[in-house]
Copies of this chain bind each other. A is one copy, B any other.
């Protein structure tokens, strides 16, 4: 397959769908964008025109019928993931799906079983793994650069809450926001999370109470290798998208701080004044999204294993579900019991 382009269909042309479209159309010559599918006719037409794509479908199942579609990129709402993955796998397509895969372990397990049975691959959109700084942390830990990992710390704070409508179907703080940190925890430490204790509250906006969600959290983790971890989240950091992590070990520590859109610092009588952080994930993780899609295309073209699979998708959701139980019952929850 390496000698021809990979035919791709994208399902869902919302915010993240456009990110992947931009990569596939303009930046990844090894891929060819064949078709788009979205239930919203007007936005679908706009996006198709902008990217010069001829075939569009209201029903993604029509795109699955096209033999020149080798792979699908699923960016539709979480509630549609189950059916889309099932149908795509049944049609023999390679699959990339945004996180979270689904909101229950049972349904994710069913997805993974079906995908395996169909002999296709499923890659899950944990884009941070492809960010150069997080990747370098991972490589440093894997190479023994800090010895045995003992303590993980992640700070992950959004600049502002999403709309209430989004929140209602998001799966909640732990499956929508912290899920990235749960995946990073496994990825950076290189060991499975075995136990979680979480605190959460509504400090940002009464909206979170209305939708039965939380906006602020501190999560404590236990790993299979004996390491411990702490994650903190907020839905509102007025100074921008705060994304930091560190792994501490027997021989040292590796940490990453925030990125800024401009390196400038201004000094006056009050001290130094530096740039606000990158505004949000579209700015902060631009490069990771491109690298992620390149990795997906390269893996399926080369018949190699995708670098983030359905098991990864399942584990992050399991930790998220455990965290939510922990908050509600104010107790430690073992991941194996979720």
Which residues of B have CB within 8 Å of A331? 331-332
Which residues of B have CB within 8 Å of A264? 133, 136-137, 140, 254-256
The smallest C-beta distance from A5 to any residue of chain B, in angstroms, reads 13
**Which listed segment binds B: A8-16, A117-125, A161-169, A231-239?**
A231-239
Known contacts A220-B218, A226-B203, A273-B273; A248/B237 CB under 8 A: yes
CA separation between A335 and B254, bound complex, in Å? 34
On whether the beta carbons of A146 and B252 are closer than 8 Å, the reply is: no
Residues 66-82 of chain A, each 1 if its beta carbon lies under 8 Å from chain B, else 0: 00000000000000000
Q: Does A201 contact B (CB under 8 A)?
A: yes
Q: Does A251 contact B (CB under 8 A)?
A: yes
In the complex, residue of chain B having the shortest beta-carbon distance to the beta carbon of A225: B203
Known contacts A155-B153, A239-B252; A266/B203 CB under 8 A: no
List 5 A-B residue pairs with CB atoms under 8 Å apart, sorted by A's residue number: A218-B230, A232-B248, A252-B266, A252-B267, A253-B266
Q: State the 8 A-B residue pairs at the shortest beta-carbon distance, nearest first.
A: A239-B267, A252-B268, A230-B230, A272-B274, A26-B26, A133-B263, A218-B228, A136-B262
